[in-house]
């Protein structure tokens, strides 16, 4: 069904953006599965067990997810590179196993009864998050994040609190992933802890790698292509992991910055500013 | 009974150790994480399926060769060309992509359901007793095979020319290549050996459980990754010790009815270890491979 | 005498068994340009790195404008007013020249979240950045990508970037390294202008002409210690200094 496909595309775009916003501050996170699960179960408990409407449940679970990310991130984000990848994979595993052991939300058997999310809800979410990212892309904050990503030590010598910026990116990513999770759960009506497996986190990161890590459009393109294309080409659907894996390999080799590699410039000297002409 | 638990734990632990040693060998020598490693383990299980009609030692040789060759493929596809500043991350991502391909291809051949091995009632599942303790033949096979393979690895690293070269590259790839070591060959050797060990572990795992399954990489394989990190990235002894300790710990947790928490324990232990003692739980400064920060 | 801006007391920094700084004392006063000289490995850059929090001191204290900054994190030291450049130029290579300078704009660096909505300050930020870029003759290159700059321009952009942060103390680590004669001459003029805008400058340099024409005072270091301190002619001809240079690397004195 076309609306199903568009819905999952929207969810994947949100997840890809949630990875992107962490990457902007230089942290590659494989913990997105965990935050998505938290958003899904958190919002689900609020709507199913407490009878909240979806919107406030979504927002509250996003905020809580961001707070958890901040607490986890404070020790975790001191680690870089391979170590950070390992820790974030660990977070995803822990979240899944923890949920499997909480009988209040159904344990291994799964958790059901959430409803109320439809295609329109995910479209609104994508538009809001997209608008925010666009606004962010041209702001001084984007520039500060770029500085932290490119050379954190120089950034801190320029009075930028690198730890704070990294936590900000990690938490914002967790919040967006939680919203995606909440919408996913309330669309599917029923989820299991294994729906938020580490494989999901890996796929989401690879969407971003494919699309491009330098601007907000890259993750959008990557996630959309990888979700929609298999729906229209049967070969792709059948061989999805293989085609996807080979595409990633080719991309890393020949276009390491992704399909859309450009970086948006955050400031131009205004025309009125005095300029010297001459030497060059 | 206690002894039986201990033996069960040590047998799982030996398998964890075999996989963890492969992870740690690659990261210790090349400073990169091989995320295709768990899928080579998984394919090792299917070697058992293919070779199930043949005498068992054929299966062992086939798994070794398959794993080694896959290791060379992984090295070629996901590691060789990435040498710039971001290579640690890029190679990790590329090997994840290779892992996806390997899993998909395996599922295309053998299906997504697990495939059972026709060994029920065979020699492997026969029991015998020593001093009142009951053993399964397959347990003995696993322990013996692990001992031979890790012993062989030890000899390879300590006694041979290749081993010396591997250790030299682990210490410093730049000075090793200045001394005339062919870093590419060393890297291929490391991938061949580590992947061969992983495939053997997959084979043994399939023999023990009586089935091969395509999701074993993401469960058992990634748990071995966590164990490797607990033992310390690049620490061979840590990987061995970590594997055995976690194996025994899990056996006891299952016995006490805490089996559902065992996976959580491993991953939490890894997270805490990386945050508190990133060099590994058992690091004392002297082990097989030199570590780099 | 007035209180110094920067007081370094018995500062120590060791890496494992290696002592990069061995109990060094140093005072920097208002209005001074102090040249820091010494052979390679004498601990000059280690001193800068420890003062800015890049390295963690293993002993001693650093007072900046009467505040103890010895174990403060780097960004706090930056906020208190110490700016620096790096021996091997460290620009944000993917950004434009203007963006590089803007990163250091303090209201944004101090309150990154508020920068999202601070529209009025954005124009102010550009004006401030342009001010320093013009002063360092980079105004016609503001929209170039930093990685495309010539060596001399890159050096000057690094100084401009530090100045956008409005530091009171500016630390320059070998600003003339790798520059040709022309570029070096321009740099001397630039630093002469810059010194009017900051309270003090500390300058590491191997180019003796440059250091003679710019510094009010020289401090010579070797083995992580201060060996001589005083007027430039006096320090440059001091037997200890000559010994230190001749003992290691004679090239350094040439120029």
Residue C40 CA: distances (Å) to CA of A63, A101, C24, C43: 52, 61, 17, 8
Give the chain C residue nearest A158 (alpha carbons).
C104
C107 CB neighbour count, 10 Å cutoff: 16
pLDDT at residue C247, as a whole number:
66
Residue A264 maps to a domain: no
Query: Does residue C26 have a pLDDT over 80?
Result: yes
- Measured distance CA(C73)–CA(A164) in Å, rounded: 12
Is the predicted pLDDT of residue A268 greater than 90, yes or no?
no
Please report residues of C whose CB lies closer than 8 A to that of A156: 53, 73-75, 78
Q: What is the pLDDT of residue B261?
A: 87
**Mean of pLDDT over chain C:** 91
Distance CA A177, CA A46 (A): 17
Q: Is the pLDDT of residue A276 over 60?
A: no
In chain C, the residue whose alpha carbon lies closest to the alpha carbon of A147 is C92
Percent of chain A topping pLDDT 90: 81
pLDDT at position C113, please?
A: 95
The stretch C169-176 carries a mean pLDDT of 94
Using a CB-CB distance cutoff of 8 angstroms, which residues of chain B are in contact with residue A197? Answer: 218
Kindly state the percentage of chain C with pLDDT values over 70. Answer: 96
The answer as to whether A251 is a domain residue is no
Residue C51 has pLDDT above 90, yes or no: yes
Q: How far is C24 from chain A (nearest CA, A)?
A: 22
CATH of C6-253, one of 3.40.50.300, 3.40.50.10490, 2.60.40.10, 3.40.50.1220: 3.40.50.300
B56 pLDDT above the threshold of 80: no
- Point out which residues pair with C204 in neighbouring strands: C36, C173
Record the tokens describing residue B147, joined without a space.
Answer: 């001992």
Average the pLDDT over C85-90 and give the result: 94
Q: What integer is the mean pLDDT of B124-142? A: 81
What is residue A233's predicted lDDT score, i.e. its pLDDT? 84
Residues in chain B within 8 Å Cβ distance of A256 = 86, 90
Q: What are phi and psi of C13, to 5 degrees?
A: -145, 120
**What is residue B54's predicted lDDT score, i.e. its pLDDT?**
80
Q: Is the pLDDT of residue B288 over 70?
A: no
Asked if C130 and A269 come within 8 Å (Cβ–Cβ), the reply is yes
At residue C167 the predicted structure's pLDDT band, cuts being 50, 70 and 90, is very high
Average pLDDT (B259-263) is 86
pLDDT at B292 over 50: no
In this prediction, residues A39-65 reach a mean pLDDT of 96
**Hey, is the C-beta of A279 within 8 angstroms of any chain C C-beta?**
yes
* Residue B167 near chain A (CB below 8 Å): no
Lowest-pLDDT range of A33-37, B128-132, B240-244: B128-132
C231 or B129, higher pLDDT? C231
Per-residue pLDDT at C1: 60
Domain boundaries defined on chain B = 2-96+112-276
- SS3 label, residue A106: coil
Residue of B202, B228, B224, B218 lying closest to B280 (CA atoms): B228
Q: What is the pLDDT of residue B120?
A: 55
pLDDT band with cut points at 50, 70 and 90 for residue B290? very low
A204 is a domain residue: no
State whether residue C212 sits within 8 Å of chain A by CB: no
What average pLDDT does the segment A196-215 reach?
A: 94
* pLDDT of residue A273 exceeding 50: no
Is there a domain that residue A267 lies in? no
Q: Is the confidence at residue C53, as pLDDT, over 80?
A: yes
- Determine B/A contact with 3+ CB pairs under 8 A as the test: yes
- Exposure class string for A173-197: b at 16+ Cβ within 10 A, else e: bbbbbbbbbbbbbbbbeebbbebbb
Best probe of the A interface among B97, B242, B293, by most A CBs < 10 A, is: B97
For residue A166, tell me if it sits in a domain.
yes
Please identify, in words, the CATH class of the domain defined by B2-96+112-276: mainly alpha
Q: What pLDDT is attached to residue B284?
A: 57
CB atoms closer than 10 angstroms to residue A131: 10
Contact criterion met (CB below 8 Å) for A222 and A16? yes
The pLDDT value recorded for residue B289 is: 52
Candidates B252, B246, B292, B240; CA nearest to B269 is B246
Mean pLDDT, residues A4-26 taken together? 96
Q: How far is Cα C27 from Cα C8, in angstroms, rounded to an integer?
A: 6
Q: What angle do CA C100, A253, B98 make, to 5 degrees?
A: 125
A143 touches chain C (CB under 8 A): yes
Mean pLDDT of B21-25: 96
Is B129's pLDDT higher than 70? Answer: yes
Total Cβ atoms within 10 A of residue C137: 18
C190 to chain A, closest Cα gap in Å: 16
Residues in chain A with CB shorter than 8 Å from the CB of C84 are: 157
To probe the interface with B, which of A83, A96, A97 has the most B CB atoms within 10 Å?
Answer: A97
Please, which residues 249-278 of chain A have a Cβ atom closer than 8 Å to chain B? Answer: 249, 252-253, 256
CB contact under 8 A, B264 and A246: no
* Cβ <8 Å between C116 and A158: no
With beta carbons under 8 A apart, name residues in chain A contacting B96.
202, 206, 248
Give the mean model confidence (pLDDT) for residues A144-154: 95
All residues of chain C having their beta carbon less than 8 Å from the beta carbon of residue A213 are none
Q: Which residues of B touch A90 (CB under 8 A)?
A: 226, 267-268, 270-271, 274
From CA A96, how far away is CA B269, in angstroms rounded? 16
Q: Which of B132, C192, B230, C113 is nearest to A164 (CA)?
A: C113
Per-residue pLDDT, averaged over A149-167, amounts to 96
**pLDDT above 60: residue B293:** no
| Closest CA relative to residue B27, chosen from B241, B185, B170 | B170
Q: In angstroms, rounded to a whole number, what is the distance separating the alpha carbons of residues B123 and B126?
A: 5
Chain segment B246-257, per-residue pLDDT in tens: 999 999 999 998
Confidence of residue C237 (pLDDT cuts 50, 70, 90): confident
pLDDT bin (cut points 50, 70, 90) of residue B124 is confident
**Spans of all domains in chain C:** 6-253
Confidence category of residue A151, pLDDT binned at 50, 70, 90: very high
Mean pLDDT in residue range A139-161 = 96
How far is C77 from chain A, CA to nearest CA, in Å?
7
Residues 6+ apart with CB under 8 A from B25: B153, B190, B193, B194, B236, B289
- The boundaries of the domain holding residue A134 are 2-199
Residue B286: the pLDDT is 41
The yes-or-no verdict on residue C252 having pLDDT over 50 is no
- Residues of chain C above pLDDT 90, percent: 76
- Interface mutation target, options C76, C80, C92, C136, chain A, most CBs of A under 10 Å: C92
What pLDDT digit, counting tens, does each position of A220-232 carry?
A: 999 999 999 888 8
DSSP for C27-41, please give it.
Answer: EE-TT-EEEEE-STT
Q: Rounded to 5 degrees, what angle do the CA atoms B263, B265, B270 make?
A: 100
- The answer to whether the Cβ–Cβ distance between A156 and C74 falls below 8 Å is yes
Question: Which chains have 3+ CB pairs within 8 A of B?
Answer: A
- The per-residue pLDDT for A274 is 44
Mean pLDDT over each residue of chain B, to the nearest integer: 90
**pLDDT at residue B291 is higher than 60:** no
pLDDT confidence band for B74 (50 / 70 / 90) = very high
Q: How far is CA C89 from CA A200, B200, C154, C158, in A?
A: 41, 50, 7, 7
Mean pLDDT, residues B87-92 taken together: 90
Chains touching A by CB (3 or more pairs below 8 Å): B, C
Chains contacting C with at least 3 CB pairs below 8 Å? Answer: A
pLDDT in tens, A76-122: 998 888 999 999 999 999 999 999 999 999 989 999 999 989 999 99
User: What are C228's strand-pairing partners?
Assistant: C220
């Amino acid at each position: 069904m076309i609306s199903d496909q568009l819905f999952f595309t929207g969810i994947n775009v949100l997840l890809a953006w949630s990875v992107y916003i962490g990457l902007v501050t230089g942290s590659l996170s494989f913990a997105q599965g965990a935050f998505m699960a938290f958003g899904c179960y958190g919002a689900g408990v609020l709507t199913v067990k407490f009878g909240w409407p979806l919107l406030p449940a979504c927002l509250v679970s996003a905020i809580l997810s961001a707070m958890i990310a901040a607490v986890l991130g404070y020790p975790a984000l001191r680690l870089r590179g391979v170590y950070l990848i390992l820790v974030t994979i660990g977070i995803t595993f822990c979240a899944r196993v923890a949920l499997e052991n909480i009988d209040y939300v159904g344990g291994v058997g799964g958790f059901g009864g959430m409803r109320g999310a439809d295609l329109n809800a995910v479209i609104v979410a994508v538009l809001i998050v997209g608008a925010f990212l666009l606004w962010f892309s041209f702001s001084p904050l984007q520039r500060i994040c770029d500085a932290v990503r490119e050379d954190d030590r120089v950034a801190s010598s320029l009075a930028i609190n690198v730890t704070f910026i990294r936590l900000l990116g990690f938490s914002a990513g967790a919040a967006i992933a939680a919203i995606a999770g909440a919408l996913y759960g309330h669309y599917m009506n029923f989820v299991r802890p294994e729906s938020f497996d580490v494989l999901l986190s890996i796929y989401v990161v690879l969407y971003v790698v494919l699309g491009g890590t330098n601007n907000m459009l890259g993750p959008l393109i990557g996630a959309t292509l990888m979700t929609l294309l298999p729906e229209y080409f049967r070969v792709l659907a059948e061989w999805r992991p293989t085609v996807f894996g080979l595409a990633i390999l080719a991309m890393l080799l020949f276009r390491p910055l992704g399909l859309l590699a450009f970086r948006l410039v955050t400031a131009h000297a205004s025309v009125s500013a005095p300029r010297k002409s001459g030497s060059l | 009974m206690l002894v039986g638990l201990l033996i069960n734990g040590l047998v799982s632990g030996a398998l964890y150790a075999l996989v963890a040693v492969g992870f740690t060998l690659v990261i210790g020598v090349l400073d990169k994480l091989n995320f295709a490693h768990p899928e080579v383990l998984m394919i090792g299980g299917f070697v058992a399926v293919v070779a199930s009609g043949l005498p068992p030692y054929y299966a062992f040789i086939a798994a070794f060769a398959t794993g080694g060759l896959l290791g060379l493929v992984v090295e070629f596809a996901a590691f060789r060309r990435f040498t710039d500043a971001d290579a640690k991350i890029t190679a990790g991502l590329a090997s994840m992509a290779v892992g996806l391909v390997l899993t998909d291809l395996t599922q295309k051949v053998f299906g997504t359901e697990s495939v059972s091995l026709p060994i029920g009632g065979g020699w492997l599942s026969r029991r015998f007793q020593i001093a009142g303790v009951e053993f399964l033949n397959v347990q003995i096979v696993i322990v013996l095979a692990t001992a031979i393979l890790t012993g062989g690895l030890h000899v390879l690293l300590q006694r041979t020319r290749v081993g010396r070269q591997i250790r030299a590259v682990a210490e410093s790839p730049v000075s090793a290549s200045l001394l005339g070591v062919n870093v590419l060959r060393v890297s291929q050797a490391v991938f061949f050996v580590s992947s061969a060990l992983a495939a053997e572990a997959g084979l043994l795992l399939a023999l023990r459980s009586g089935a091969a399954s395509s999701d074993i990489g993401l469960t058992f394989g990634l748990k071995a990754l966590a164990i490797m990190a607990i033992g310390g990235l690049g620490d061979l002894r840590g990987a061995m010790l970590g594997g055995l300790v976690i194996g025994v710990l899990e056996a006891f947790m299952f016995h006490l009815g805490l089996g559902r928490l065992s996976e959580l324990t491993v991953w939490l232990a890894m997270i805490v270890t990386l945050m508190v003692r990133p060099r590994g739980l058992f690091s004392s400064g002297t082990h097989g491979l030199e570590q780099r920060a | 005498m007035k209180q110094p801006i920067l007081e370094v007391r018995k500062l120590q920094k060791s890496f494992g068994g290696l002592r990069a700084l061995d109990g060094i004392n140093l005072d920097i006063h208002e209005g001074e340009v102090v040249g820091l000289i010494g052979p390679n490995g004498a601990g000059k850059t280690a001193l800068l790195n420890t003062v800015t929090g890049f390295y963690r001191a293993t002993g001693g204290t650093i007072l900046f404008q009467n505040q103890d900054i010895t174990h403060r994190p780097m960004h706090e030291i930056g906020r208190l007013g110490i700016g620096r450049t790096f021996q091997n130029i460290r620009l944000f290579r993917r950004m434009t020249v203007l963006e590089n300078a803007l990163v250091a704009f303090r209201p944004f660096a101090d309150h990154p979240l508020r920068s999202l909505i601070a529209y009025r300050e954005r124009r102010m930020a550009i004006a401030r950045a342009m001010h320093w870029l013009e002063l360092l003759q980079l105004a016609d290159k503001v929209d170039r990508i930093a990685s495309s700059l010539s060596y001399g321009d890159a050096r000057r952009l690094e100084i401009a970037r530090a100045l956008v942060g409005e530091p009171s103390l500016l630390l320059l680590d070998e600003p003339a390294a790798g520059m040709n004669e022309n570029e070096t001459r321009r740099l001397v003029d630039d630093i002469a202008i810059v010194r009017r805008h900051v309270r003090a400058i500390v300058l590491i340099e191997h180019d003796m002409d440059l250091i003679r024409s710019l510094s009010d005072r020289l401090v010579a270091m070797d083995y992580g210690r201060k060996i001589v301190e005083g007027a430039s002619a006096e320090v440059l001809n001091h037997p200890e200094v000559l010994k230190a240079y001749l003992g290691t690397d004679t090239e350094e004195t040439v120029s």
